[in-house]
Structure 1
Amino acid sequence: MTKKKIKSFGLWPSNITPDLFANLLKISEPVWGQDGSLFWRERSSSLTKINMAAPGSGEIHTVSGDLNIGGELLYGGGGYTTAENTLIAVDKTTHQLHRINPQGVTSDQLTSNLVSAASPRLSPDGKYALFVHSDGELDGIYIKELSSPLPAQPLNSGSDFYNYPRWHPDNNRIAWISWDHPHMPWNESYLWLAELENSNGVGLDLASKKLAAGGSGISVLQPEFSPDGRYLAYISEQDGWWQIFLLDLQTWQKQQLTGVNAEHGLPAWLQDQQSFEFSPDSSRIYFLRNQQGIRTLWSLDLASNQERMIQLDETYTWLEDISISPDGSRLALVASAADLPARLITVNLKGRTEIIRHSTPVHIPRDSFSIPEPTSWISQEGQEIHGLFYSPQNPRYCGEGKPPLIVIIHSGPTRQKWVDFQPRTQYFTSRGYAVLEVNYRGSTGYGREYRQALEGNWGVIDVDDCLSGATHLADHGRVDRENMVVMGSSSGGLTVYQILVKYPGVFKAGIVLYGIVNHLSLLQNPPKFERHYSDWLIGPYSEAEDLYHQRSPIFFADNIQDPIAIFQGGKDQIVPQDQAEQIVSALEKNQVSYLYRLYPEEGHSFKRISTLEDFYSHLGIFLEKHLIG
């Protein structure tokens, strides 16, 4: 083993570079064809396409041509579906449904008048497509008869949001999830079961519907009919965790299948996320279980109600988008770990894995990456708080003394930092920084009570939990108390600003990517999905006007003393450019040191290679000046 060279923390040369991030493929939504073909959605910096691995040879082809595939509702997801080797996909350029023949790589446009669509599902007889549609204000479950020139028709509307449309194998029943303002789907949602009927000989119409699960104060996710048609499985949070339930459609009896304190679903920021699947013979359910940010694969035998973990032959710590092959012998998953960039894999029932597609062509030795430690500490109120701690790691360099710390605050705020591949975190750790990713109260992954703690407390307990996490590490000698930086994006950026307002001098600097500074400005034209999110996070504006002012950092910018680096996209529709420019004006007025970089062509994340190179170049200079220097 080569002896490591001693070099100052933060200045280690690293082979984890911005071009690695820019060239990472985003792989999602694996789905099997009836002949054993495996399809998936693959996004590069310029186009999102559907690829296919042919059965037998495994040869990879693009089958979507020039279409730009992706669901257009919520934050994406639900881009396409397949049945009998026909694909129905949403094209983000035309906003319409297209039918794709993957064998001939041809497509035809099925609709012409849609505004935004997601989550298409083909009927068992192949004659209809069910999907979610929105015109920006009115959402609904729509149906399109594939052989008819008539436009798609609404089957159900009246709720503010829809997700997870599903067909029963008999072709005459469907299920879906809905929710309404002012709720977010993880606070309260509804699972509906409906009967269909022929509508005067012209297509199908809704005959009746009834509530199957969910309701007041209960979140439900992902309905799935068993292939034999007897059961409807779904995820419900009625016991305080997202657990899998089974509804017998003959007796209407419900059974809770999982019971450990773990999450078996993800918050519905996206359309059509798959966390479990029935086996083709309906005897088993294969599912994903999240504990402490690590997601594992399990099998549940429905006859005995016995579950077992499928131990994989590779050390993957995060799995998502589960799909089972038609013969039931393999599962497809998107898999990653802290030291393994995401890849599409298949797994047999004994845990043997095969890599189908890497997200990066660049091989970086695994010892270049830091492996996180799930950690916890006690808040000022005596509650346990969770996070992931990454030590500095570089195969060629080490430092002396205690490392500087970067506290990274996730966005959402109803999200979680997982033990998956985090290129930004690894960029820092490979250069000699320690990183704490904080899953403050309000994060998902630790049960409903932990998540609901943020109700009315956004900008308060998230601030306290991030501060106490950094202090905990410093008190235990893990990091240099005098060299700490706090970093966040979007809602995490708000937390950064609040920390710098309330606790000046604790951190040497702040780093904010498209962060919120003024709640009052955001109330003027919020996206529909989050229109009433602040009602829950802070309170209804009519009742909590003072709180909106108190928790908007822009009104207390005079308290900020520490340098800030601010990065903003000019086309950001979620946190507009004026949010960044309000705080920049205040910092300028108060003569506080700052860096401001505006990327005119970027939105609510940075994707272009030139942007990422500029971002990390300026960030490195900023950190060297204010933390290392």
Structure 2
Amino acid sequence: MPSSPQHADYFFYILLLLKKMISDSEEIAGIYRELSKFPSPLKAYIRPQITLKPKEKFSIIDTEWSQRDLERAERVKIFREYLVFHDENSILCTGPSGNCTELQGELLSRDSPSATLKAVIRERTNKKQEKQQYLEIWSKTAKEKSINLTALDKHGKVYEDDLFGCLEWSYSETCILYVAEKKRPKAESFFQSKPEHSVNGDEDDNRAKDGQKPEKGCQFVYWEDWGEALTNKSTPVLCVLNIWSGNVSVLHGIPEHISPGEAIWAPEDAGIIFVGRWHVPWRLGLKYCTNRKSALYCVDLTGNEYLEISSGINSVHSPRLSPDQHHLIFLEGGSVKTHHQCYGLSLYNLDKKVTSTVVRILDYPATDGFTGIYSSALARKCWATDSQRILIDTTQRSSKDLFVVNIATGTVTSLTAGPDTASWTLLDVCQDLIVVSCSSPNCPPNLKVGFLPAAGHEQEMIWMALGEDKPLHGIKWKILTFTPHFEHENPKFNGLQFEGILLLPGQEQNAKPPLVVSPHGGPNSVFVTCWMLMPAVFCRLGYSVLLVNYRGSCGFGQDSIRSLLGNIGSQDVKDVQFAVECVLKEGVVDSEKVLLIGGSHGGFIGCHLIGQYPGFYKAFATRNPVINLASKLGTTDIPDHTMVQAGFDYAPDQLPTPPVLATLLSKSPITYISQATTPVLIMLGEKDKRVHPSQGLELHRALKARGIPVRLLWYPDDNHSLSNVDTEADVFMNIAVWFNFALNRTQ
């Protein structure tokens, strides 16, 4: 059957696009390769100070970085060492020590409290192509121990993630604490044959080294996991290894309804403090979701006595013990059920066994401009030497700042105040020497150091760079503040503002640049003024980029987050469109060349925009977009998110009613897709458990059926973030060519 003229135009469009890809790819790839080489810091460790002579000291800072290797299609971990010369409280000079080296196979590493030993969890592939995990103990001169954890068969794989994983030395430096997957029972087929020489089944016992017979018919039993990016993690257990004997003990007796993680040693090695996350009635996705019901526990090493430190009502994370071992701080969520929100800073007095609030949850920014704490995790070491002050990096509107909090007074003081609106991340603090990462949209990450001033003088903080921190040419940026029109005000939360980060090409151009618009996903995440590869490359290609933090973004107070509940598909969409129109009125970009990018909830907003404002956007590129809330509900690892953002309470034991499903559908962009005319590029990760690929396929079919130009890219080895190095590069290349082609057709 011959194709219709409408579909013939569609295939002709794709043919021309492929030709365009060949002609444009070399220039785009060159700029992408150039800017993708900048590494990002992962962690830093300040070694104990060394005294040269009175008032002359130096410190060694070990750092780990992640860098994209396009040829190997992977992120490599590299090691850098820096020297910092100083007196008692001021930096004299700094500099790198030697060249970078690559770290291979390291999953986790941690220096002992005295810095004389180092523990490393390393993964290697043996001659049989089987992955083996080792725990290694290194001294300053040699590898002292190498323990094959896989061969010990006490547990499954060690957790290396930021949500459960840990690697903690005991204060005595005799034991190491870590989290691993619980050992699963062996299983075999119902029809597994016994060895010919088996007598009365005795050989079955011989085949089970641990004394347990394999469970017949259980090899395909489903093991529930923790969702997106945590698919191999189901039942974590706390493990303690004695480094001298090599024995591993798995701590038993933890309540059946919780999964332990983020573990640290209690004072004097008397027990273990950990976060216990509820997994009943089932495990909801945990990645990017800091709202999961949880509590802090302290357990003795026998597993017999438990103390619940926090209330267990909301969510907690990041327990950090003070240097004097008298106080424990942690972040605690409120009653809002969104996946990210403003958090209170709680303090537990271990002597009096009393909990108090140091920094409360802020509904609206304070008079001094402080908007609250939004950290997904505190730095592992965040206490000042006096055990009275804590260092916290947190989003503040569209930037990320560093603060010091006095636990006695609750006073919050910025250590990064000033005209520079770059974003800061705390990496380590030792004897009040602080090392941070600092970056901005036109400056890749660099490290800075400084001494924390005495209490009451924190505003006198002085920073010194460990390396070059010069901005790159060809990129300018600024923060824009938007006040919604009165008709778009939220009647329950009026007076709220939102922001955007506008990047502009720095070089002179004959014509105004096209504008790429990008609302973030989440929806309660945020864009901050840090280094971001994709916007930077677009600027170097001659595009301007607008990153929109619509109402509902974190960093603007809890009321801003609450305001979006029940209003997705409306308030967020109107905010983005209003921000775009404000930028166009400034006259700095080409109003006829507006393009759109969005992933996840950003894709949800983008699909609404091309349907509600047909023809306004010349091209759209979307990654794992949310298309239909009703159909998403049964396929996502976070069904509670779908219900709560749509304005409903979530109850795991209740099915959605027809009116609820109708409302979900009415808020979905698929209902507007018949009005869309914008060419759409769709990119899907096959392993996505957050937004199932069926969502993107639903969009692809709807567009294709209407003859709207659409192209679908399918990444079989990637998940929701599409962050594998080869995927990430291919995604950008295709988006850039898609946009170039769309603009050439409109000229």
Q: 1:242 to 1:570 in 2, by over 3 A?
A: closer
TM-score by length of 1: 0.80
Q: 1:618 to 1:304 in 2, by over 3 A?
A: closer
Q: In structure 1, how many angstroms separate the alpha carbons of the residues matched to 2:735 and 2:146? A: 46
The range that moved more, 153-162 or 589-598, is 153-162
Deviations 1:225-280 (A, max 9, x none): 11111111223355984343433323345554446464564454xxx542871123
For structure 1, which runs of at least 5 residues remain unmatched after alignment? 1-9, 70-78, 200-204
Q: 1:58 to 1:183 in 2, by over 3 A?
A: closer
Counterpart pick for 1:98 among 135, 142, 151: 135
Q: In structure 2, how many angstroms separate the alpha carbons of the residues matched to 1:64 and 1:467? A: 45
Deviation at 1:307, TM superposition (A): 5.1
Q: In structure 2, how many angstroms separate the alpha carbons of the residues matched to 1:92 and 1:494? A: 39
The range that moved more, 418-427 or 564-573, is 564-573
Deviation at 1:407, TM superposition (A): 1.6
Deviation at 1:96, TM superposition (A): 4.6
The range that moved more, 80-89 or 167-176, is 80-89
Letter in 2 for 1:171: D
Q: In structure 1, how many angstroms separate the alpha carbons of the residues matched to 2:375 and 2:410? A: 26
Q: 1:422 to 1:141 in 2, by over 3 A?
A: same
Counterpart pick for 2:352 among 244, 247, 251: 251
Aligned match of 2:465:
354
Deviation at 1:366, TM superposition (A): 3.2
Letter in 1 for 2:642: S
Q: In structure 1, how many angstroms separate the alpha carbons of the residues matched to 2:132 and 2:689? A: 18
Q: In structure 2, how many angstroms separate the alpha carbons of the residues matched to 1:144 and 1:166? A: 11
Query: Is 1:81 aligned to residue 123 of structure 2?
Result: no
Partner SS, residue 277 of structure 1: coil
Q: In structure 1, how many angstroms separate the alpha carbons of the residues matched to 2:510 and 2:588? A: 13
Counterpart pick for 1:51 among 59, 76, 79: 79
CA contact (8 A) 1:311 1:351 kept: no
CA contact (8 A) 2:402 2:426 kept: no
Q: In structure 2, how many angstroms separate the alpha carbons of the residues matched to 1:556 and 1:304? A: 53
Q: In structure 1, how many angstroms separate the alpha carbons of the residues matched to 2:528 and 2:505? A: 19
Query: Is 1:207 aligned to residue 305 of structure 2?
Result: yes
Query: Is 1:156 aligned to residue 249 of structure 2?
Result: no
Deviation at 1:607, TM superposition (A): 5.3
Letter in 2 for 1:242: Y
Counterpart pick for 2:563 among 445, 450, 453: 453
Deviations 1:324-347 (A, max 9, x none): 12xx14112222122211134433
Higher relative contact order (CA 8 A, sep 6+): 1
The range that moved more, 429-438 or 93-102, is 93-102
Aligned match of 1:111:
149
Over aligned residue pairs, what C-alpha RMSD do you find? 3.9
CA contact (8 A) 2:122 2:136 kept: no
Deviations 1:89-108 (A, max 9, x none): 55577585633426357473
Aligned match of 1:296:
401
Query: Is 1:469 aligned to residue 516 of structure 2?
Result: no
Query: Is 1:121 aligned to residue 159 of structure 2?
Result: no
Q: In structure 1, how many angstroms separate the alpha carbons of the residues matched to 2:713 and 2:387? A: 54
Matches within 5 A, 1:77-476: 79-84=108-113, 85=115, 86-91=117-122, 94=131, 96=133, 98-101=135-138, 103-104=140-141, 106=143, 108-109=146-147, 111-112=149-150, 113-115=155-157, 117=159, 118-134=165-181, 136-137=224-225, 138-140=234-236, 142-146=238-242, 147-154=245-252, 156-159=254-257, 162-180=260-278, 186-187=290-291, 189-197=293-301, 199=302, 205-213=303-311, 215-216=312-313, 218-237=314-333, 241-258=342-359, 260=366, 262=370, 265-266=373-374, 268=376, 273-274=378-379, 277-301=382-406, 308-311=413-416, 315=420, 317-325=422-430, 328-349=431-452, 350-355=461-466, 365-378=471-484, 380-382=488-490, 383=494, 384-395=496-507, 397-400=508-511, 403-475=513-585
Q: In structure 1, how many angstroms separate the alpha carbons of the residues matched to 2:498 and 2:630? A: 31
Deviation at 1:291, TM superposition (A): 1.9
Deviation at 1:370, TM superposition (A): 1.8
Letter in 1 for 2:581: T
CA contact (8 A) 2:565 2:644 kept: yes
CA contact (8 A) 1:22 1:608 kept: no
Counterpart pick for 1:487 among 585, 597, 605: 597
Letter in 2 for 1:51: F
Q: In structure 2, how many angstroms separate the alpha carbons of the residues matched to 1:556 and 1:263? A: 36
For structure 2, which runs of at least 5 residues remain unmatched after alignment? 1-23, 50-58, 69-73, 85-94, 125-130, 160-164, 183-223, 226-233, 336-340, 361-365, 453-460
Q: In structure 1, how many angstroms separate the alpha carbons of the residues matched to 2:304 and 2:118? A: 25
Deviation at 1:134, TM superposition (A): 4.8
Query: Which of the pair has more CA radius of gyration?
Result: 2
Q: In structure 2, how many angstroms separate the alpha carbons of the residues matched to 1:478 and 1:157? A: 60
CA contact (8 A) 2:503 2:535 kept: no
Q: 1:556 to 1:487 in 2, by over 3 A?
A: same
Q: 1:441 to 1:300 in 2, by over 3 A?
A: closer
Q: 1:222 to 1:615 in 2, by over 3 A?
A: closer
Aligned match of 1:536:
644
The range that moved more, 243-252 or 93-102, is 93-102
Q: In structure 1, how many angstroms separate the alpha carbons of the residues matched to 2:346 and 2:435? A: 23
TM-score by length of 2: 0.68
Q: 1:169 to 1:368 in 2, by over 3 A?
A: farther
Q: 1:16 to 1:451 in 2, by over 3 A?
A: farther
Partner SS, residue 620 of structure 1: helix
Paired residues in the alignment total: 587
CA contact (8 A) 2:374 2:394 kept: no
Letter in 2 for 1:99: E
CA contact (8 A) 2:378 2:392 kept: no
Letter in 2 for 1:125: S
Q: 1:546 to 1:300 in 2, by over 3 A?
A: closer
Q: In structure 2, how many angstroms separate the alpha carbons of the residues matched to 1:447 and 1:97? A: 45
Q: 1:608 to 1:132 in 2, by over 3 A?
A: closer
Aligned match of 2:9:
none
CA contact (8 A) 1:220 1:235 kept: yes
Deviations 1:539-580 (A, max 9, x none): 445243234444454565433221112233455554455443
Aligned match of 2:736:
620
Q: 1:65 to 1:616 in 2, by over 3 A?
A: closer
Deviation at 1:512, TM superposition (A): 0.7
Partner SS, residue 476 of structure 2: coil
Letter in 1 for 2:300: L
Deviation at 1:300, TM superposition (A): 4.2
Q: 1:614 to 1:150 in 2, by over 3 A?
A: closer
The range that moved more, 600-609 or 25-34, is 600-609
Partner SS, residue 536 of structure 1: helix
Matches within 5 A, 1:527-606: 527=637, 530=638, 532-538=640-646, 539=648, 540=650, 542-543=656-657, 544-554=660-670, 557-570=673-686, 572=688, 574-575=690-691, 577-606=693-722
Q: In structure 2, how many angstroms separate the alpha carbons of the residues matched to 1:206 and 1:441? A: 48
Q: In structure 1, how many angstroms separate the alpha carbons of the residues matched to 2:32 and 2:356? A: 49
Q: 1:274 to 1:364 in 2, by over 3 A?
A: closer
Letter in 2 for 1:207: E
